[in-house]
Homo-oligomer: A and B are copies of this chain.
Amino acid sequence: MNSETNGRGRREQMLEAIRHAAISEFSEKGFAGATTQAIAQRAGMKKTQLHYYIQGKEELYEELLQRVLAAWAEIIRFDDALTEPQAVLSRYIRNKLHFSFTQPALSRIFTSEVLAGGHYLEKYWPQARENILRKEQLINQWIAQGALRPLDARLFIMHIWAITQYYADFAVQVKHMYHDTDAAPATQEHIIREVTELVLRGCLPTTAS
């Protein structure tokens, strides 16, 4: 059992610890404000040790950005096996919210990058545009079929994205809104239900059977 085979490699274990720490640091401070010093400290190592494992601050950041994009590419697409708008949209909302709940810091890195101007996302926009255009076409089909009320499909998609992303970016705000209050914090399932209900009622035709 050499150093390459115990666990999945000591090096990879260290890198995972580093990535975990970096996700927190980058999501809180942004790329410019994050320091390798702080990342090292969060990961429980010295700065020099960190620099032994990573190529540089920028490479680490880009790798993590790619992680969010890759995860979203998997999670966020409309499920082709489903045809009913209710089913497709419900699943989309559930998946996106689940990601915001389980990977809030990773989600926030994207937001932080967009706030900074999104220069590290140059290569990402075309693909994101394609994705939204495909969703738009499907939604417009639904509208033509009378399955959805007439609406601006592109804005509609962005609005769903906005609400679901909110629970990652503003988790601190949400928490404070339940602090020192009679009401117990909303559960994830409850939030999923409320968001889904709001969106579906907002887009279904008034003449729904």
Q: How many residues of A contact B (CB 8 A)?
A: 59
B33 near A176 with CB under 8 A, answer: no
B129 near A28 with CB under 8 A, answer: no
Chain B min CB distance to A81 (Å): 26
Interface flag for A87 (CB, 8 Å): no
A194-B114 contact in complex given A128-B176, A202-B201, C-beta closer than 8 Å: no
From A3-11, A39-47, A50-58, A115-123, give the one contacting chain B: A115-123
Interface of A is mostly: helix
A186 near B129 with CB under 8 A, answer: no
Interface residues of A in 123-176 (CB under 8 A from B): 125-126, 128-129, 132-133, 149, 151-152, 154-156, 158-159, 161-163, 165-166, 169-170, 172-174, 176
Bound CA–CA A151/B195 (angstroms):
10
- Contact residues in B for A181 (Cβ distance below 8 Å): 129, 133
- Contact residues in B for A190 (Cβ distance below 8 Å): 152, 155
Interface flag for A179 (CB, 8 Å): yes
Interface flag for A198 (CB, 8 Å): yes
Q: What is the chain B residue whose CB lies nearest that of A191?
A: B155
* Residue from B32, B133, B158 within 8 A of A30 (CB atoms): B32
Bound CA–CA A163/B178 (angstroms):
20
